[in-house]
């Protein structure tokens, strides 16, 4: 008796149609997922010939579908990495799946991009391997972020190591120049604050390139060092002339040198009196930065009480800058002349 379906059973022909429709719908869903994936999804033969190429592959590699299909997969592999494809095909023929293989591929415009590959063998109903499906994910941004993080960690380690070394040297120097604990604390604190103000000028821009070497300028450094000594009733400090960039180790040496100059001016020189005035002029010639530090308004005989900043720190700072310093005492003040090679302030390649 023919089954009319009233007993709850679906006729054979109707079941086959329903199954076919379900499979067709599933295939349509799968095709839509593949086509609209952000990842590059493609397939290739065991000879490495591209057979399918989704929109993600077009975006990632820059080749349109009709430009890629029928071409060897080496189309997007740099020449120095062709050996990778040979190894991948060999493993695919053996039935292996290659999961999250990180490598470099080449776009149509020649740009190299970092990708993570997942490659799986494609089999027919009999289990025979016909080719491979490949998913490529762009990890260039992730790799760059990891590299920048590594640079920042190394830089932080380097700076911390240098900070401890510098702190130990300053403690030793301040101890020699101090007679009381209070003097030691004040002297050391002032030097450390000067370094902090100087290095705050060179904090990297984390929104752009956090690993980049950041420059400031000599005038910006001068202003940062001299700002605490500015008179609240009006300016008694004048800084002018040709500005130049300063970066790297030169910043530390220059900051310590300028801090000692400013400290001595505040203790014994032009900045120690209400009538005193400090003029700093910068000039550039013969690949040298020339700085004239001119103090006026010092009372007679006051300048003889102190020769200047500590000779030990002076020698160390000048050695770091490869600079030369000379002093010229006058009845009403002091004039210092400093010369520093520009190459020491901002090395040029």
Are 255 and 168 contained in the same domain?
yes
Distance CA 180, CA 26 (A): 85
pLDDT of 219 higher than 70: yes
In a domain, 2, yes or no: no
Classify residue 1: in a domain, yes or no: no
* Residue 211 sits in the same domain as residue 337: yes
* Residues contacting 57, CB < 8 A, separation 6+: 40, 41, 42, 63, 65, 68, 136
Distances (CA, A) of 106 to 80, 114, 291: 11, 9, 52
Note the pLDDT of residue 143: 84
- In the predicted model, what is the mean pLDDT of the chain? 78
Please identify, among 138, 155, 172, the residue that sits at the C-terminal boundary of a domain. Answer: 138
Burial of 254 (0-12, 13-18, 19+ CB in 10 A): buried
CB 119 within 8 A of CB 96: no
What does the alpha-carbon distance between residue 151 and residue 41 come to, in Å, rounded to a whole number? 33
Same domain, 180 and 238: yes
Q: Kindly state the average pLDDT of the residues 114-123.
A: 90
Please check whether residues 151 and 222 belong to one and the same domain.
yes
Domain that holds residue 290: 143-345
Give per-residue pLDDT as tens, 40-59: 888 899 888 999 898 889 99
Q: Which of 161-165, 243-247, 264-268 has the lowest mean pLDDT?
A: 161-165
Rounded to a whole number of angstroms, the CA Rg of the chain reads 36
Residues 255, 321: Cα–Cα separation, whole Å? 11
Domain harbouring 340, CATH code: 3.30.565.10
pLDDT, tens digit (0-9, with 9 covering 90-100), for 148-180? 777 667 756 655 665 666 566 567 656 766 778
276 versus 312: the higher-pLDDT residue is 276
Closest listed residue to residue 133, CA positions, set 33, 61, 23, 46? 46
Q: Looking at residue 288, what is its pLDDT?
A: 95
| 242/169 Cα distance (integer angstroms) | 32
* Mean pLDDT lowest among 65-69, 230-234, 303-307, 336-340: 303-307
**What are 12-31's pLDDT values in tens digits?**
555 555 555 555 555 555 55
Question: In this structure, what CATH number is given to the domain that contains residue 110?
Answer: 3.30.450.20
* Residue 15: predicted pLDDT: 58
| Domain end among 97, 121, 138 | 138
Phi, psi of 72 (to 5 degrees): -70, 150
H or E stretch including 113? strand 112-123
Last residue of a domain, one of 120, 138, 156: 138
Question: Is pLDDT of 349 > 90?
Answer: no
State the total domains in the chain. 2
Separation of alpha carbons 216 and 219, rounded Å = 9
- Residue 38 and residue 67 in one domain: yes
213 and 332 co-located in one domain = yes
pTM of the full structure: 0.47
Q: Are residues 101 and 187 in the same domain?
A: no
């Amino acid at each position: 008796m023919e089954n009319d379906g009233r007993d709850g059973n679906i006729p054979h022909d109707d079941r086959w149609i329903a199954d076919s429709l379900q499979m067709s719908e599933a295939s349509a869903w799968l095709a839509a997922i593949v086509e609209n994936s952000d990842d590059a999804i493609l397939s290739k033969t065991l000879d490495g010939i591209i057979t399918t190429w989704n929109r993600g592959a077009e975006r990632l590699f820059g080749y349109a579908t009709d430009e890629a299909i029928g071409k060897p997969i080496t189309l997007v592999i740099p020449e120095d990495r062709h050996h990778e494809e040979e190894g991948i095909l060999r493993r695919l023929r053996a039935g292996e799946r290659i999961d999250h293989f990180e490598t470099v591929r080449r776009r149509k415009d020649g740009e190299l991009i970092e990708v993570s590959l997942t490659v799986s063998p494609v089999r027919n109903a009999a289990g025979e391997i016909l080719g491979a499906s490949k998913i490529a994910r762009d990890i260039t941004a992730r790799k760059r972020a990891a590299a920048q993080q590594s640079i920042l960690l190394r830089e932080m380690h380097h700076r911390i190591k240098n900070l401890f070394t510098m702190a130990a040297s300053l403690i030793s120097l301040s101890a020699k120049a101090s007679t009381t604990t209070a003097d030691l604390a004040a002297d050391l604190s002032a030097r450390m604050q000067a370094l902090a103000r100087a290095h705050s000028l060179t904090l990297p821009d984390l929104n752009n390139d956090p690993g980049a070497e950041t420059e400031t300028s000599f005038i910006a450094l001068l202003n940062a060092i001299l700002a605490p000594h500015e008179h609240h009733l009006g300016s008694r400090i004048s800084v002018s002339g040709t500005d130049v960039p300063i970066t790297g180790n030169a910043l530390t040496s220059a900051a310590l040198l300028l801090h000692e100059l400013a400290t001595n001016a505040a203790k014994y020189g032009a900045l120690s009196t209400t009538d005193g005035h400090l003029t700093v002029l910068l000039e550039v010639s013969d690949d040298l930065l020339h700085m004239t530090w001119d103090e006026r308004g010092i009372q007679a005989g006051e300048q003889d009480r102190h020769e200047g900043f500590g000779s030990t720190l002076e020698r160390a700072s000048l050695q770091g800058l490869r600079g030369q310093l000379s002093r010229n005492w006058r009845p009403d003040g002091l004039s210092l002349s400093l010369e520093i090679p520009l190459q020491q302030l901002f090395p040029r390649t």
